[in-house]
C-alpha cells in the first residue's frame, strides 16, 4: 500500500476508536467486549490518543501521504477524530462537577457537612495523568500475599499502608472485579488505594474463590473472611478494626454491596460467625445489583444464562430465593451503612439503569446517606488507571470517606 492509502487506513482506525468512546453501544453480541476495550481506553486516555494520532500524522505527511486524495481524506478523518477526542476530554472534566454535586446533595441532611468537606479540585495536574499506568507511590509500603483463610492461592490479600504512621489507621477493603471468574487483588483500584494509603489509611485488597469452580455464595464468604481477618489480625499492620469501609468494581462492586448489606449474617460466616462483619460505608463502582434483572434494564443482553450456568448453578425459576439473596437490590434495609454508588452512563458491561434502580431502592428505606454519581460518557473500569475522570473519582471518594472518618472520630471522643 502507498503512503496515502496507509494514512487513510490508520486515520479510519483512529476515528473508529474515538467514535466507540463517543457512542453508547449495547447488544453487540460478540463485538461487545472489543467495543468496551476500545471505548474504555479511548475515553479515559483522550489526550494520549491525540498525541499518538498527531505523531502518526506527522510521520505520514513526511512520507508523502498528502500526495494523493486518500491522504487528504485521511487528514479529514484525523481532524474529525481530534474534535471527538476534545469532546471526550471535556466530558471527563465534567465529572468533577458531578462528584461535587453528589457529595453536596447526598450530605445535605448534615448542616455541618459543608464545613467538613474539603473543596474538590476542578483541575487535575497533567503530571498526575501523564503516566497512566505508573502505580507505585513513594509513601506507600505494600505487604504481599498474606494468607487470610484456608490453604489455597485465592485466600490471600495484599496490604497497602503508609510508610510512616503513628497509631491505628482507618481501613479500606478493596474487592476486585472480573465477572466472578477472573481478576486479581493487584489489578484494580490502585489509584484509590495508593491515594488513601498516602493519606494515612490502610488498604487491604483480597483475592477470593472464582467461578466456575466456586458457586455463590463462596465469593461472598471469602470477602467476609477477609473482613474478619482485618478485624482479628489487622492490628499488626496498623488497622483500626473499629472503622472499616468496603469498595469494589463490577463483580467487586456487587460483592462489596452484598457484604455491606448482609452484616453478621451467619449463613455467610461459616466458622467465624462471632466476628463483626459490619462496615462503616460502602463505595461500589459500576456494580451489578440485580441478578434477576427485575426491571428489564438489560433486555436481550440478559446476564441470567451466564449466571445460571457459571455462578449460581441453579435456575432463577425454581430457586428464586437464592437469586434474590445474591442481588443487592433485594437486600436493602433501613440499617444499611452509608453508600456512595458510582456508575458511568456509557457502561457497556454493567448497565447504568441497574444502578439507578438500586440507588432508588436503597434511598427508599435506608436511614443513612445514599450518594450517587452518574458520570457522563464514563465506561466500565474507568478508575483502573490514572486519568482525568479517575482522579476526580479518587478525590471524591477520599473526601466522602474523610468526612465519615471525622464523624466517627468526633462521636468516639464525645
- Catalytic residue annotation: 250, 347, 380
Pull the grid cell for residue 37: 476495550
Cβ neighbourhood burial of 255 (10 Å; 0-12, 13-18, 19+): buried
Q: How many Å apart are CA 217 and CA 125, to the nearest integer? A: 42
Q: How many Å apart are CA 278 and CA 275, to the nearest integer? A: 9
What DSSP character marks residue 308? I
The answer, yes or no, to whether the previous bond of 359 is cis (omega within 30 of 0) is no
Q: How many Å apart are CA 391 and CA 191, to the nearest integer? A: 8
Strand spans (E) along 186-236: 202-206
Pull the grid cell for residue 20: 466507540
Q: How many Å apart are CA 287 and CA 283, to the nearest integer? A: 10
Give the CA-trace dihedral at 233, 135, 343, 174, to 10 degrees.
-10
Amino acid at each position: 500500500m502507498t503512503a496515502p492509502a496507509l494514512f487513510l487506513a490508520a486515520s479510519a482506525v483512529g476515528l473508529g476508536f474515538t467514535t466507540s468512546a463517543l457512542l453508547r453501544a449495547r447488544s453487540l453480541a460478540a463485538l461487545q467486549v472489543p467495543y468496551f476495550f476500545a471505548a474504555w481506553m479511548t475515553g479515559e486516555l483522550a489526550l494520549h490518543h491525540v498525541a499518538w494520532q498527531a505523531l502518526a500524522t506527522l510521520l505520514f505527511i513526511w512520507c508523502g501521504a498528502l500526495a494523493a486524495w486518500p491522504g487528504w481524506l485521511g487528514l479529514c478523518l484525523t481532524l474529525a477524530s481530534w474534535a471527538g477526542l476534545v469532546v471526550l476530554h471535556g466530558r471527563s472534566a465534567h465529572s468533577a462537577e458531578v462528584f461535587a454535586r453528589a457529595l453536596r446533595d447526598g450530605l445535605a441532611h448534615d448542616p455541618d457537612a459543608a464545613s467538613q468537606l474539603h473543596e474538590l479540585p476542578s483541575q487535575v495536574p497533567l503530571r498526575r495523568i501523564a503516566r497512566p499506568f505508573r502505580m507505585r507511590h513513594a509513601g506507600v509500603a505494600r505487604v504481599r500475599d498474606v494468607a487470610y483463610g484456608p490453604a489455597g492461592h485465592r485466600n490471600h490479600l495484599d496490604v497497602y499502608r503508609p510508610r510512616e504512621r503513628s497509631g491505628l489507621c482507618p481501613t479500606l477493603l478493596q474487592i476486585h472485579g472480573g465477572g466472578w471468574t477472573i481478576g486479581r487483588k493487584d489489578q484494580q483500584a490502585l489509584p484509590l488505594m495508593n491515594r488513601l494509603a498516602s493519606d494515612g489509611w490502610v488498604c487491604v485488597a483480597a483475592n477470593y474463590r472464582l467461578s466456575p469452580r466456586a458457586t455463590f455464595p463462596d465469593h461472598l464468604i471469602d470477602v467476609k473472611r477477609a473482613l474478619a481477618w482485618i478485624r482479628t489480625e489487622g492490628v499488626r499492620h496498623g488497622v483500626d478494626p473499629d472503622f472499616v469501609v468496603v469498595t469494589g468494581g463490577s463483580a467487586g462492586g456487587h460483592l462489596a454491596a452484598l457484604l455491606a448489606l448482609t452484616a453478621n449474617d451467619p449463613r455467610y460466616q461459616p466458622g467465624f460467625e462471632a466476628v463483626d462483619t459490619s462496615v462503616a460505608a460502602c463505595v461500589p463502582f459500576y456494580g451489578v445489583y440485580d441478578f434477576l434483572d427485575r426491571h428489564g434494564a438489560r433486555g436481550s443482553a440478559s446476564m441470567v444464562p451466564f449466571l445460571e450456568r457459571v455462578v449460581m448453578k441453579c435456575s432463577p425459576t425454581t430457586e428464586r430465593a437464592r437469586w434474590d439473596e445474591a442481588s443487592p437490590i433485594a437486600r436493602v434495609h433501613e440499617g444499611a451503612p452509608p453508600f456512595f454508588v458510582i456508575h458511568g452512563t456509557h457502561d457497556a458491561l454493567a448497565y447504568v439503569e441497574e444502578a439507578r434502580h438500586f440507588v432508588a431502592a436503597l434511598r427508599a428505606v435506608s436511614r443513612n446517606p445514599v450518594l450517587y454519581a452518574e458520570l457522563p460518557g464514563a465506561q466500565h473500569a474507568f478508575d483502573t488507571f490514572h486519568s482525568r475522570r479517575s482522579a476526580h473519582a479518587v478525590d471524591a471518594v477520599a473526601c466522602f470517606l474523610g468526612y465519615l472518618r471525622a464523624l466517627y472520630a468526633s462521636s468516639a471522643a464525645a
